[in-house]
Amino acid sequence: MLDNERHPDGRSALTSAGACYAIYAPASDATRPPGSWNQTQIVVRDTHVEHRLNGMTIVDYELGSADWLARVAASPFRDVATYGRSPRGHIALQDHGDLVAYRAIKIRVLR
């Protein structure tokens, strides 16, 4: 979550709230005002990934596709050989140095 209006990363769609950071920009800014709760989901089925924010799918991509590989090659992650290639990994919550709160976090395996 990110305050697109006040945080420097919000000035670029590629690094704004809901983006696949520096790879895919969200189709629209679906954030609620600061101080309001936002609801987000990241759904991964095999190589297909969707970022959803407040009921809207805002980013949609295929890991490993030609488009994905080209975007990673042009991104800050170009020198990270394993970027987006592991079928399993870690989940991290980021705060960008600002006050942030999370609630009702759920993680489940989709079949």
pLDDT at 96 over 80: no
Specify the pairing of strand 56-62 against strand 48-53: antiparallel
Q: What is the pLDDT of residues 56-81, one digit of tens each?
A: 999 999 999 999 999 999 999 999 99
* CA end-to-end distance (rounded Å), the chain: 27
pLDDT, tens only, 18-55: 999 999 999 999 999 988 999 999 999 999 999 999 99
What residue has token string 């960008």? 96
Helix or strand run (H / E) with residue 43: strand 40-45
> What is the SS3 string spanning 47-66?
CEEEEEECCEEEEEEECCCH
CATH 1.20.1250.20 fits 1-104, yes or no: no
